[in-house]
Structure 1
Amino acid sequence: MDDGSAPAAGGYVLGSTDREMARLAALSEVYGPVTAAWLDSAGLRPGATVVDVGCGPGDVSLAAAERVGPTGTVLGLDAAPRPLELARARAAAAGLRNVSFEQADVTRWRPPAPVDAVVGRLILVHLPDPVAQVARLAGTVRPGGVVAFADVALSTRAAQPELPLLTAFNAWLLGTFTRSGRPVDMALRLTGVFRAAGLPDPVLTAAAPLERGGDAVGWSVVAGDVAGLLPVMERTGVATREEIGPETFEQRLRAQAAEHDAVLVNPLVVGAVARTPDGGG
């Protein structure tokens, strides 16, 4: 949300600015391998119909489209028009004709007919009632179809040796999410969410990618979080612009990391995959 108003609990707070698009690109680079492993564990087959909820600029949608092939279809859904424009351009550039994108409220959207799979990466943390939404979306999937969500445990980001600026950022980030009514550990709740939504225990994949030094891509994710969340940080009283210094934040953070040759532990991302009951007894 980038209109300057206070976000409702469960709303997306990181906006759709150029900086946020850059943050999402960095995030996808860091988490590309675990995303691929998660989608592979989902077993998306050629010819399958897939819906990607909260698709953003389309990384998961495009990866799913490659897996289901030209006989399958992927529909990416997002509430913000800006990321969808980028997603459509990326699909066209990749020559993927089996993927399309639609602006929609993912908490209410329903397909005209059951689909083979519903997937979503880093979306449940932003939804007001993850259990209810997973249960609702699972209801749009055919019997024996796939329900797959991946999310993050924000509290697991760290550096070794500890970097003062990252330590400060972690406190700002966790405080902002907590005061905005969002969980900071959704990755660790996925099994419970799936169970409460009436699904079997999911198959899990997980990774907390490691990088080293001042050139780590993950520092761009951190800096993007600062830029996107700054209005909310100030509004909720977590930190002020003067404390954060957003204009030079990334430069200072990278300098600290380079000086100490620090190892960055990017936050743990967990992917969960389950199949809907097939009614076979």
Structure 2
Amino acid sequence: MPDPISQTEYWNGDVGERWAGMQAELDRVFAPLTAALLDGAGLRPGERMLDIGCGCGETALLAAERLGPDGAVTAVDVSRPMLARARARPAAGAPIRWIEADAQTRAFAPEHDLALSRFGVMFFEESRAAFANIRRALRPGGRLVLLCWRALPENEWVNRPRDAVLGVVPAPAPPPPGGPGPFRFADGDALVELLTQAGFAQAAVVPVDRPVEIGADAEAATRFAVTVGPIAGLLRDLDDPALRERAVAAVRDAMPPAGPVRLGTACWLATAVNPG
């Protein structure tokens, strides 16, 4: 069995290219969740923000508009393809500095009022050390606000197409406990404890549940489901084209037959404060 690749390699390969190519669709699908994150962050004009795992730039760009010209955004990601897409997008409001770096080890100046992340913190190799490093990037009293997925069974947008695929192909091996992955922080109490161990105070989580439209019809929803998200890798690794087509057809059959496809999502909005 080949050695697992690092997260930097993963997001600079085919996955990063595909996510960059799906930027507009991903931002549209996750718009209700992005709004919940930004509203929960309580951004104030003139603040300095650090965007962790900024991807193709949606959260940084929307935050820059709220922060205004007297604010500042530092947006960090390991993925060159996604950062290239972010840099090419029009920006307004606070200036944005795009940085290709790993937020778990990059030495940031302790000048930020806020560190924010939309689905970017679940992929750290060493979560406790990463959160401690992010805390050091905050001024005393600075805030951490992040959005991460709750458990897989609560996320219909993933488990409906996944169940369809697993009716055709064998289930993959479970990820190592505590390893990088989208549902790493499904246990909200464990996330609060982790943030506390990393030196944060007032750590808390609240549930965020929003339906998202993953496609205008079953065909579009299927394309989204098999291109990004947890089942995309499962299908990509299939060597049998006929088996892959059967799996894609099963996903299509699992979608509502008419109209926009809206499925449920379940997230944690986690907050904490750097006590200084």
TM class by shorter chain equals 0.7 to 0.9
Deviation, structure 1 residue 89: 1.1
Contact 2:70/2:94, CA 8 A, preserved across alignment:
no
Q: Which amino acid aligns with 2:57?
A: G
SS at match of 1:186: coil
Cα distance change, pair 34–175 in 1 and its aligned pair in 2 (3 A): same
Deviation digits for residues 173-226 of structure 1, max 9, x if unmatched?
984661594353414333233233232222535124255987266544421236
Deviation, structure 1 residue 31: 2.2
Deviation, structure 1 residue 137: 0.6
TM-score by length of 1: 0.76
Partners of 1:248 and 1:175 in 2: CA distance: 17
Q: Which amino acid aligns with 1:191?
A: V
SS at match of 1:20: helix
Equivalence map 1:201-216=2 (5 Å): 201-202=203-204, 204-211=206-213, 215=217
In the other structure, the counterpart of 2:226 is 223
Q: Which amino acid aligns with 2:198?
A: A
Q: Which amino acid aligns with 1:229?
A: G
In the other structure, the counterpart of 1:103 is 100
In the other structure, the counterpart of 2:194 is 193
In the other structure, the counterpart of 2:5 is 7
Partners of 1:226 and 1:167 in 2: CA distance: 12
Deviation digits for residues 7-62 of structure 1, max 9, x if unmatched?
24x66745445432244543332221222222222222111111111111001111
Unaligned runs of 5+ in 2: none
SS at match of 2:255: helix
In the other structure, the counterpart of 2:68 is 69
In the other structure, the counterpart of 1:271 is 269
Deviation, structure 1 residue 144: 0.9
Equivalence map 1:163-174=2 (5 Å): 166-169=162-165
Deviation, structure 1 residue 86: 0.8
Deviation digits for residues 76-104 of structure 1, max 9, x if unmatched?
111121111110111xx244561121111
In the other structure, the counterpart of 2:125 is 128
Aligned pair count reads 263
Bigger relative contact order (CA 8 A; separation at least 6): 1
Cα distance change, pair 250–226 in 1 and its aligned pair in 2 (3 A): farther
Structure 1 runs, 4 residues or longer, greater than 6 Å off:
170-174, 260-263
Pairing partner for 1:137 from 128, 134, 138: 134
Contact 1:218/1:266, CA 8 A, preserved across alignment:
no
Contact 2:103/2:134, CA 8 A, preserved across alignment:
no
Partners of 1:30 and 1:13 in 2: CA distance: 23
Identical counterparts, % of pairs:
25
In the other structure, the counterpart of 2:116 is 119
TM-score by length of 2: 0.77
Aligned residues: CA RMSD: 3.7
